[in-house]
């Protein structure tokens, strides 16, 4: 049996974005961090490929939705902390260390990481960033002034949760196949602390 103590699982769910996915996986595999981690890639595809150095789980193009893919990632992750990051994200040198820093406080159930939107993003990306669905947007970033803040909104774009949150809640709601599953999960997780 594997020793999963202090293991972090980095989960990436992808569909039709192989180049950015390959870039992110390379960045993760070469990052310097104090954490022991595994990378779990869930890809909706009818054309599986080899991804060395990661746990790669392809599933057919059935349009089950992102909540299904996220639950598949959970089922195939071994870490005590589960990190979700979108396949088209770029990470900076100290990304994982900064994202997981708040977990030294045992009362922290989940963490939302910051995101900078590239100029090449589409209208939906800009709207999500500005309006903050579900991660808080520019207003929250400005109000935080570089310090960690309590939040009820966590987006799986760049976040981490303790595995115990998923053990209690049971994962993402697969009825929400077009999005919002991360918003609902964050609300449920926040209520655990009430």
In a domain, 101, yes or no: yes
Distance, first Cα to last Cα, the chain: 36
Residue 128 maps to a domain: no
Owning domain of residue 105: 7-116+152-192
* Residue 125 covered by a domain: no
Q: What is the pLDDT of residue 90?
A: 87
Residue 9 main-chain phi, psi, to 5 deg = -105, 125
Rama region for 39: left / alpha / beta (φ>0; ψ in -120 to 50; rest):
beta
Mean pLDDT for the stretch of residues 163-180: 84
Is 147 part of any domain? no
What is the mean pLDDT of the segment spanning 31-44?
95
| Residue 93 lies inside a defined structural domain of this protein | yes
Q: Number of folded domains in the chain?
A: 1
Residue 181 placed within a domain: yes
Of 10-14, 142-146, 180-184, the least confident: 142-146
Kind plus residue range of the DSSP H or E element containing 41: strand 36-44
Q: Does residue 167 belong to any structural domain of this protein?
A: yes
pLDDT of amino acid 177: 67
In a domain, 123, yes or no: no
Q: What is the CATH number of the domain that holds 94?
A: 3.90.550.10
pTM: 0.82
Nearest CA among 145, 144, 154 for reference residue 184: 154
Length of the chain: 194
Question: In this predicted structure, what is the pLDDT of residue 78?
Answer: 96
* pLDDT exceeds cutoff 90 at 73: yes
């Amino acid at each position: 049996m594997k020793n999963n103590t202090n293991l972090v699982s980095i989960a990436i769910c992808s569909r039709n974005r192989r180049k950015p996915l390959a870039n992110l996986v390379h960045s993760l595999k070469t990052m310097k961090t104090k954490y022991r981690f595994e990378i779990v890639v869930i890809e909706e595809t009818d054309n599986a490929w080899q991804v060395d150095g990661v746990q790669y789980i392809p599933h057919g193009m059935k349009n089950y939705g992102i909540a299904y893919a996220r639950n598949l990632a959970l089922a195939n992750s071994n870490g005590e902390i589960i990190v979700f990051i979108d396949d088209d994200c770029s990470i900076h040198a100290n990304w994982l260390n900064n994202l997981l820093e708040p977990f030294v406080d045992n009362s922290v159930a989940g963490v939302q990481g910051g995101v900078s939107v590239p100029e090449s993003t589409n209208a939906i990306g800009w709207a999500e960033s500005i309006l903050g669905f579900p991660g808080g947007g520019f207003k929250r970033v400005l109000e935080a002034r570089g310090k960690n803040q309590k939040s009820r909104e966590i987006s799986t774009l760049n976040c981490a949760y303790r595995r115990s949150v998923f053990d209690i809640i049971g994962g993402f709601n697969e009825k929400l196949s077009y999005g919002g599953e991360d918003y609902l999960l964050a609300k449920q997780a926040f209520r655990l602390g009430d």
